[in-house]
Structure 1
């Protein structure tokens, strides 16, 4: 019983020292990657300043994509070489089907010196459900 009380005290003290979320806006920062919801992603895209990258497979893309997206297949052997050809000084918007691969690609880019990376939280599925452009 004494050990349980000590364990609870330890956990409580650790949680009390954990910082609260510092970013109160709807942009969520994860490891320097900015995750945007569909509306924010659409607004960034509408600015005309960003490159739009689709990291889904060619097979997935046959069902459609966000207009003007450039395809760089996450599963291709040369994915890292291809994505690192993107300019570091330009905003880059990245998406996939559910948001997992695009987040991984975004993290890879930030680790390689890119600083203007935006990932579509929830992926293309959420984008389509909310009625955003899809061709």
Structure 2
């Protein structure tokens, strides 16, 4: 989905950039960060217009996730061979509704920021995260 530099050195550089974003990001989304609410997410999912990415660890996602989600841990937002790794079509830069979520909101925000910095204009964070989904939908 998101392109990073190739090769071992490129992967190390990408992981370092993600770590820096994590440390700089704090715990809360800036008020200007694009988000999607639960009612809007429900509508987008029901209409098939959204692509939803669970950026939690594989173990967290295996314990439960939002139906129709593709699990890509935030630490793996680098693959050049997206389709081969995830058996899903790589989103286009201009796709309108790319929603990222995690357990509490921080990693979803981080993933949205990484996607935005790479040119994905429709990247948004589901700020309510899996916690809200489970509470209201689960």
- Which runs of 5 or more residues in structure 2 are unaligned? 1-30, 83-89
Q: TM-score scaled to structure 2, two decimals?
A: 0.64
Q: TM-score scaled to structure 1, two decimals?
A: 0.65
2:134 to 128, 132, 135: 128
Stretch moving more, 104-113 or 79-88: 79-88
Quick check: which one's helix share is greater?
A: 2
> Does the CA-based 8 Å contact 2:53-2:69 persist in structure 1?
yes
Does structure 1 residue 58 correspond to structure 2 residue 65?
no
- Which runs of 5 or more residues in structure 1 are unaligned? 1-27
> Does the CA-based 8 Å contact 1:52-1:70 persist in structure 2?
yes
Aligned residues between the structures:
100
Greater than 4 Å deviation, 4+ residue runs: 82-85
RMSD of aligned Cα (Å): 2.1
> Does the CA-based 8 Å contact 2:36-2:99 persist in structure 1?
no
Bigger Rg over Cα: 1
Stretch moving more, 82-91 or 97-106: 82-91
Does structure 1 residue 88 correspond to structure 2 residue 93?
yes
